[in-house]
Structures are given as C-alpha cells and as structure tokens.
Structure 1
Amino acid sequence: VSGHNILFACEVSWRLMRERMLADKPAIHELWRKLFALRRQVAANADKPDTRAYVWEQKSRFDYTPRDCRVFHTSIEKVVVPAASRVYERRRKRLGIETIRPWDEYVDPLGRTALRPFRRVTQLASGAANIFDRVDPTLGQYFRTMMAENLLDLKSRKHKADGAFCAFFELTRKPFVFMNAVGIHYDVQTLLHESGHAFHSLEMVNLPYGMQRNPPMEFQEIASLGMELLAAPYLADSGLYTPAEAARARIETLEDILLGWPYMALVDAFQHWIYENPTRGADPKKCDAKWSKLHARFIPDVDYSGIEIYRPTQWHHQGHILQSPFYYIEYGMAQLGAVQVWANALKDQAAAVQSYRHALSLGATASLPELYAAAGAKLAFDRKTLQSAVDLIETQIAELEKVAG
C-alpha cells in the first residue's frame, strides 16, 4: 500500500470518527451544564469558594499551587512547544506534505509497517522479564514471581474488559497486571508501564498501614513512566526487537513525550480557565471557543484549515475533564520527574535505580518534594528544568536515528 493511500485511509477514518463525535455535541453540552452546576454546589456545600479550591483539598495537593500549574503551562509553551514543532517538521518533510493535518500524526513517517515484536503473550512476558533483569536483578525477580504466580493477565480476548491497569491485592500484598495485548509495540510499552506500578506496590509492601501505601498520584506515575525510560535501553536485549527496531521504538516514545507535554498543558490550562471563570465556564459554547484558542496556543503546528468545525469539541472526549476535574497535570509533572531519573541512569544505572527503588519504598510517608528528591529528581515547573529534559530527549533522538536508519 502506497504512502498516499495510507494517508487517505487515515483521513477518511479520522473524519468518520470526528463526525460521529460531533453528533454528540448537543448531548455533551447539556451534560456539561448539569455537571458544572453540581460541582459548584458541591464546593459550596463544603464551604469552598470554587470547584478548584475543593478539588485541590480533595486531591491533597499540599505541595504545589494553581500558580505553579500556570508557571508549568508557560514553561511548556516556551520550551517544549518549539521542540514539538521540530518533531512535526521532521514528520512533514518525511511525509512530503505541505502541512501536518490531524490524521498525519497516526502514520509512520517513513512508510514502515507497524512493529510486531511478539506473537504470543508468553513471548511478551519472557521478553519483559529479560528487560527487567537488565534494569535491576531484584526487579527482574519481582516480575518472574508475578509470572510464576499467574499475576499477569495480558492477552486480549472476547468479552474481556478493555484497557490496562495494575491492581494491588491487600490481603496477599501482591500486584496484578491486566492488559489487552495484540502483538504491537504499544503492548510492550504498556507492560513496562504497568510493571512500574507493580514494582511500586512491591517496594511498599512492608509499610504497615494502608494509607502509607497510597502515595500521591504525582509520584505514582514516576514509578511507571520512569520504568518505561529505565527499561528502554534494554529493548534490544529482550529478544523481541532487532537493534534498529529497538531504536525506532525508543524514538517513538521520546517523541511522544515531547508531543504529550503540550497536550497536558492544554487540558490543565483549559480546566483552570473553566473554574476561574464560572459564568463563562458554565456555557459549553464558550468552553468550545476557549478550547480552540488554547489548542492553537499549545499545538500550533497541526493544520485545521477547512476542518475548524472539529477542533472546538475535542475536549468533549477527554474523559478527565468530564469525570475528574483537574486530574491530568499529574502526568506532566511525573513525566518531568521520570526524565530526570532516566538522566541519572544514563550516568550511573545502578545508583539511579537504587534511588528509584528507595523512593518507591517510601510510599506516602514523605512529602511530594521529598519523594522526588529521594528518586534523584526535583518537583519542578520551571523552564530551566524542562529545557534540560528537552535537550536530553532531542540529543537521544538524534543518536537513535543513526541506529534506526
């Protein structure tokens, strides 16, 4: 299949999906009006001035403020958005197109077929075990124990729930990883991610009280996102990838980080605007308009010319906004922490992993800044820290390009 045919198929699929989403606009607007009114009432019932103040306390956000989030938004805009632009520009040139359209993000820019690293989930599990052995022998043993004790449900099958997660069985004090593997690279990445959560629970297992084993979300995701990066150098040792394939997979992961931060800032900035401006935030049409404006600010390189009708309603399908107010920026914060952990590992793998494991073992017995520090990172929102992370990612991408071919 030619590259142009693939792009055309992606465009057709994208438009069909967006048309279906657009059909839900009246229903989502009506639902939003009800949700917004209820959230304001909940905050008032709790003697809070607004929904944000209520959520901040509900989520135990004692170590950073809304102002810190605004600083983070600006830092991402000034530091990461230009790096994301460079990713888009490479993609544009390789695809041989004039501008990047929304559907152009979903194809391989060099026309390569999707990576298929395994056929059976036994291969996936075995490959992951090989990777974890290289990251740290104890982590490798943790994973092999999970394999032996049937604590992995990896294969997709009929009537199985979708998604992926890591659960923790309090009675036996053991983790359980659930996912839907179909043989693609994303499955490997998902297993690395969820295993990071599993390792977190195993490192905390000796803490006596349940609340001590419930660390803040902003750090829980360092366990998972950090493991993705700590494991990445060993993909080629898994038996699942050639060196060139491993390099290609790692490039995709690193580019996703650069493209992900601006979207995280978009979602969070949108929510702050909603609840800072309750009169306008209660009006879904004004929310649509604000989303479009913020989208252009944080993701300026995707061309919506002629299809502007689809952009304003994208927030309707970002479940966090509708279901869990202000839940999203945690991933951006944790991603920055994870890159710092990875940077340490590139200098001294054993020391970095030891710090990572020690931080995981603390559970919720330390503050958020203390947990980051224990992992060898800094809870940060500033441009300088982000710039260091972006510089490292771009340097690594350039090196990996030489191997990926």
Structure 2
Amino acid sequence: MKAVARKQRKWIPSELDGSQWSEIEEVINELKKENIQSSEALQIWLQKLGELTDAIQEAGAIRFVKTRANTADKEAEQEYMRFVQEVQPPLKEEYFQLTKLYLDHAKKFPLPGPYHLFHRSMENSYRLFHKENIPLDLKELQLGQEYFKIRGQMTINWRGETKTLEELEFFLEDPSREVREDAWNAIQERRLKNREEIDRIFLELMKIRLQKAKNLGFSDYLEYRFLAMERFDYTPHDCRRLHQGMEKTVVPLVSKIFEKKQRDLGLTRLRPWDTLAPKGDEIPKAFSSGKELLEKGIEIFQSLDSQLAQLALDMEEYELLDLENRPHKAPGGFQMGLPEIGYPFIFMNAVGTISDLRTFFHEFGHAFHFLLARNQPLPFFRHSPMEFSEVASMTMELFTLPKWHLYFSKEQQKEVESSYFWHQIPQMLWYSTIDLFQLEIYSQELPSSQKIRKIWQQTFSKLTPGVDWTGLEEFQENYWQKQLHLFQHPFYYIEYLLARVGSLYIWLAFLEDERTAFQKYKEALSLGGTKPLPKLFEAAGAKLVFDEADLKPLIGRLEKVLQEKGLL
C-alpha cells in the first residue's frame, strides 16, 4: 500500500494521528466544550466528529489489513492489538458521552429531515452502550484473531507440495473425480485437526456474547444482536419466514441443478467433491496471476462504465489491491474503505478459479459503492445498511458475468455461466443454513459443542438437497467451522441472502434494458445511507423479500432464464 495523499482536513488538526489516543482525546475534549446554540452549529459539530471518525477508522483499517496480509507478522499483529487495546476501549466510552451530548443538543435544536436515520442510529447506540461490555468487546475481538491465526496456518502436504487450503480448493474444480475427492478429503481432515481448539474458541465467544446481552438487560444474544446490527426493518421471525420460503422455492431448484450435474458427469450419486466439477476434460483455470486478473477485469469494467474502470486503475496505481493467495495470508476476501484518502482497499486469495472471478467482481462492487457514496458529508450518510451493500457487490458479479469469457474463450462462456449459477444458487441455501443455524444456537443458553453439532446437522440436512454425505458424517458435523463470519461477524450472513435475492431482481431487469438498469444501480449506490433499507432496494429496482409469495415468481423467472440459456 502506497502512502496516498489524504483529502485536506477542514476541522481537526492536519497532523493528528488517528492511532494515538492522546491526540484523539484532545479533539474529543474540544468537542465536549463547544457551546451549541443552533441546528446549523450542531451540523458543523457533527462534521467535526465525522472527520475525527474518518481519521480513526482509516488508522485502524490500515493496521487491520497488515495483520491479514501476513498472519505470521508479529510486529503488525502487535501494532494492531495496541490500537485495539489502547484506542478502542476509551473511544467507545467517549463516543457514548458524545452520543449523549448530541441527543441533548438535538432535543433543543432538531436537525432537518435527512438526519432522521442518523438520529435513530444514535439513539440506538446510546441504548446499547454498557461500560462492562468494553473489555468483553476486546476479548471477543482477540478470540476472533485467534481463529484467523489458526486458519492462516492451515497448510497441507499434498502430493509432495505444501499448499494452503485455498490453493487446494482449486482442485475441487478438477475434471478428475479422484483428484477432487483427494483434495476435498485432505481439506476436511486438516480442518478436523483443529476442531477441539476451534470449538473452545466458539464456546468462549458465545459465552461473551450472551454476557454482553445480559449486561444490557436482554434475555438472549439474538435480540441484542439484531439491534446492534441496526436491523430496524425486519425481525428474527421474518428471517425464519424467509428460510421457510427458501425451503419451498430454492431447494427444488437446487435439486434440479444437482440432478443435471449428476447426469452431465455420468454419476450414480453426487458427492460433496462433485458440486464444483467441470463438464469438460480440462480444469478451467481463469488466470495465472493477479496482474492478469486485474488487467482483464479493467477491460470488462470499461465496457460497463468508464468511472468504474478508472477506479480500478487508481487502486492499482496506489497499491490498494492484494489479490493473490500465499502462505500465512489470512483466508477470505474483503473490501475496506479508507475514508481519508477517499479510496477502498481490496483483499482476496486468488488462485485462478472461477470462484476467484466472483470474489474479484464482488469486492469491486463494494469498492464502486464506496466511490459513488464517498462525497456524502457525514460517515453515517456514506454507509448503506449491509443488506444493501451486498446488493452492490452481488449485482456487479451478474453485470460482468457475460464478459468473463475474456478469461477463457467465447466457446467456454456457457460452461463459465453454468459454473457460476450452479454454485451461486446452491450458495443461497448455504446463506440460509448459516443464518438459521445461528438463530437456533443463540435462541438457547450456551449449548455444548455436541449440541451445536447436532443443531448444525439438522439445519444443514434440511437445506442441502441432492448431495450424498454417506460415510462423511464426521466431516459434515464439523463443516460449519469453515465459516469465518460465525467467529468474527455473528449474524452477518442473512445480508448475503437478502442481497442475492435483490440482485436477481436487478439482473433480470438488466437483461431487458442494460442502460436503464445500470443507471438505476449507480444512482441507488450514490445514496449511501440516506434512505431506509426498503427504499434503497426500491431505488435500485429490487425488493426486500421475506415471503414465499414474493420468492416464488422471482425464482420461477430465474429458472425460466436458466432454461432459455441452456443451463438447466
């Protein structure tokens, strides 16, 4: 990451270091002393607070990225943990005081309409603060780091070579069933080696999370977490209705997909290592380097929107892309906004698979969202609810999909599209499974590891059709441990499902009128967090869906399009 010039600060000292508590505290003390006598003065006060928030957020983000880039870098880990331990705890306490101060001022000097969502968020933050939760937050974060460290160190000596799990996952798309089976089993066996250690981490996390909820007077973690995630537009009951709808509409479609997959592969039964298998005789390697991934991606972006292409070029110039997999690199992929320099950072673990293309374009959807909303005046106004943020990323996958042949050939495009949809539609059931699993385990008081595995197997079996797991029960009951969100971002998963449904609405409109659909998408992204969640979906041409009655016609249209494309 290059040292990129940040935008000029208007309110806080230009030399302020957002990682040093003593400097942050000085600004906070000045904010506390201000004599607010009008709504205009209160808006300026919020701009000052927003500028300080940007400085702190960027300092933390840069340190976080360094720990993910190399999990063996002790210096980076120590510096990040210093920031977490020295800055975040007192900051939470001071922000609580500033929130209270804001609410007092807002009673006397109400802010205009656009601030009502911000005001609701501040009231919620004030309600959910508890001093005793500050050390619990820190412990929760440390346990999440511990999980990532274990995951980052998982390597396998496979056929004479040391490989990361991400590198080995490439072979799950190999034409040879023997290779796929060997790779899949090797991955599961490696994960099993750390099962007890990860069980311990998860049980400790559950205990901490429940205590945080009880400190605030909640009977369980579920109710607390929904408020903490500012889910003002839907409830746990709505989520359960959605999962029931998925069982009625998407499970039958996935059954058809896997039946066709089984026929195409000439198999008598479909096993877990067969779900990503290609139809052809060659493994479909999409690219051989991060450079190739980016160059062809920029060409695709240019065909869609010049502003999007320029974003990718700028990020390349400023070294804001970490694309390739390597040992000691943390698993997963993410986009992280850097508000002071005004650009995002993208992290992923590319090895050349079709799945890597999905991750690449997904994260660039997030990056494009950041770019379009970055000029909103307050940090709150820039950030959409996560459900809509994922619409931005998942829709970008679908917009770019017709051009993925640049990584292969036009002749292979049908195979590429079938690979995408045959993975992403079953993935909707994985989103549903993870969320329903969390709804179940957090609805009771501290289940044992054995109980957690039982709940997992029941949930997984209900929402995983068409795949034969006979003889693999030990691997199946441990399968949930691969999902990093459970450890670091509890309950952050229904967002993917709601967003995937939303992205399908936009994509189906895109098939009818590309220009209009893309323009509505851009305009909706530029709104940031200035509209309620249902209105953001509506602005993009989508719908926030929980009912089977809404899902059924949408999934029916999707199935028809797949049939027309010869993919089903």
**In 2: Cα distance, 1:262 partner to 1:6 partner:** 26
Equivalent residue number for residue 230 of structure 2: 60
Q: 1:32/1:119 Cα in 2 relative to 1: closer, same or farther (>3 Å)?
A: closer
The 1:4/1:96 distance shift into structure 2, 3 A limit, reads farther
The answer as to 2:553 corresponding to 1:394 is no
Out of 264, 272, 284, the residue aligned to residue 449 of structure 2 is 284
**Structure 1 residues 176-255: aligned runs within 5 Å:** 176-236=345-405, 239-255=406-422
Question: Do the aligned partners of residues 185 and 321 (structure 1) sit closer, same or farther apart at CA in structure 2, a change above 3 Å counting?
Answer: closer
| 8 Å contact kept, 2:254–2:425 | yes
1:262 aligns with 2:429: yes
Instruction: Evaluate the alpha carbon distance shift between residue 311 and residue 157 of structure 1 in structure 2; reply closer, same or farther with a 3 A threshold.
Output: closer
d(CA) in 2 for partners of 1:332, 1:212 = 24
Output the amino acid matched with 1:7.
Answer: R
Query: Greater CA radius of gyration, 1 or 2?
Result: 2
Q: Find the aligned partners of 2:216 and 2:282 in 1 and give their Cα distance.
A: 54
CA distance 1:161–1:102, shift in 2 (3 Å): closer
Higher RCO structure, 1 or 2 (CA under 8 Å, sep 6+): 1
Q: Paired residue for 2:261, among 80, 91, 94?
A: 91
Name the residue aligned to 2:177.
7
User: Residue 326 and residue 227 in structure 1: after superposition, are their counterparts in 2 closer, same or farther (change >3 A)?
Assistant: same
The residue number in structure 1 matching 2:97 is: none
1:162 positional shift: 4.9
Q: Distance in 2 between matches of 1:129 and 1:84?
A: 33
Q: Matched residue of 2:212: which SS?
A: helix
TM value normalised by structure 2: 0.65
Per mean C-alpha deviation after superposition, the further-off stretch among 328-337 and 5-14 is 5-14
Tell me if structure 1 keeps the 8 A contact 2:254–2:465: no
Kindly provide the amino acid, as one letter, of the partner of residue 354 in structure 1: Q
Residue 106 of structure 1 deviates from its aligned partner by 3.6
2:502 equivalent to 1:337? yes
1:82 and 2:247 correspond: no
Tell me the residue number matched to 2:281: 112
CA distance in structure 1 between the aligned counterparts of 2:490 and 2:329, rounded to whole angstroms: 28
CA deviations 1:262-282 (Å, max 9, x no partner) are 11111111111112222xx52
> Given that residues 32 and 282 in structure 1 are in contact (C-alpha distance below 8 angstroms), is that contact kept between their aligned partners in structure 2?
no
Q: Of 500, 504, 527, which aligns to 1:362?
A: 527
Match for 1:253: what amino acid? Y
Matches within 5 A, 1:305-344: 305-344=470-509
- What code does the residue aligned with 2:224 have? Y
* Contact kept in structure 1, 2:335 and 2:367, CA below 8 Å: yes
Instruction: Quickly say closer, same or farther: Cα 1:312–1:339, change in 2 above 3 A.
Output: same
CA contact (8 A) 2:431 2:497 kept: yes
Following superposition, the deviation at residue 191 of structure 1 comes to 2.1
Which residue type is aligned with residue 321 of structure 2? L
State the distance in 1 between where 2:480 and 2:286 align: 34
Whole-angstrom distance in 2 between the partners of 1:64 and 1:29: 31
- For residue 172 of structure 1, give the secondary structure of its aligned residue in structure 2: coil
Count of residue pairs the alignment pairs up: 397
Residue 43 of structure 2 is matched in structure 1 by none
Relative to structure 1, is the Cα distance of residues 106 and 56 closer, same or farther in structure 2, using a 3 angstrom cutoff? same
Q: Could you tell me how far apart the structure 1 residues matched to 2:350 and 2:451 are?
A: 40
Contact 2:276/2:423 (CA < 8 Å) preserved in 1?
Answer: no
Partner Cα distance (2:478, 2:512) in 1: 44
Shift of 1:333: 0.6
Gaps of 5+ in 1: none
Kindly provide the CA deviation profile for residues 269-303 of structure 1, in whole angstroms up to 9, marking residues without a partner as x: 1111112222xx52221221121111111113221
The letter of the residue matching 2:483 is: Q
Over residues 13-35 of structure 1, what are the superposed CA-to-partner deviations in whole Å (9 max), with x where a residue is unaligned?
A: 33333333334343344444333
Aligned pair in 2 of structure 1 residues 366, 102: CA closer, same or farther (>3 Å)? same
Return the offset for 1:201: 0.8
Query: Any conservation in 2 of the 1:119–1:183 contact (CA below 8 Å)?
Result: yes
Which of 440, 444, 457 is equivalent to 1:273? 440
2:407, 2:393 → 1: CA distance? 21
- Structure-2 residue corresponding to 1:298: 463
Report matched runs for 1:86-165 at 5 Å. 86-108=256-278, 110-156=279-325, 162-165=331-334
SS state at 2:225 partner: helix
The 3 A distance-change label for structure 1 pair 249 and 389 is farther
What amino acid is aligned across from residue 96 of structure 1 in structure 2?
Answer: G
2:338 is matched with: 169
Q: Residues of 1 paired with 2:526 and 2:315: CA distance?
A: 18
Instruction: State the match for 1:39 in structure 2.
Output: 209
Structure 2 runs not aligned, ≥5 long: 1-172
Identity %: 35
Contact 1:248-1:400 at 8 Å conserved across structures: no
Partner letter of residue 388 of structure 1?
Answer: P
Aligned residues of 1:10 and 1:106 also touching (Cα < 8 A)? no
* Whole-Å separation in 1 of the counterparts to 2:327 and 2:201: 32
CA displacement, residues 211-238 of structure 1 (integer Å, 9 cap, x when unaligned): 21222111111111010001112334xx
Deviations 1:291-348 (A, max 9, x none): 1111111113221222323222222332222333212111011111111111111111
| Contact 1:164–1:179, Cα closer than 8 Å, also in 2 | yes
- Label 1:87 to 1:159 Cα distance change in 2 as closer, same or farther (>3 A): same
Amino acid at match of 2:545: A
TM-score (norm 1): 0.90
Asked whether the equivalents of residues 333 and 347 of structure 2 are also in contact (C-alpha less than 8 Å), the reply is: yes
Q: Deviations over 1:76-99 (max 9, x none)?
A: 000000111011111111222221
Q: C-alpha distance in 2, partners of 1:286/1:255? A: 32
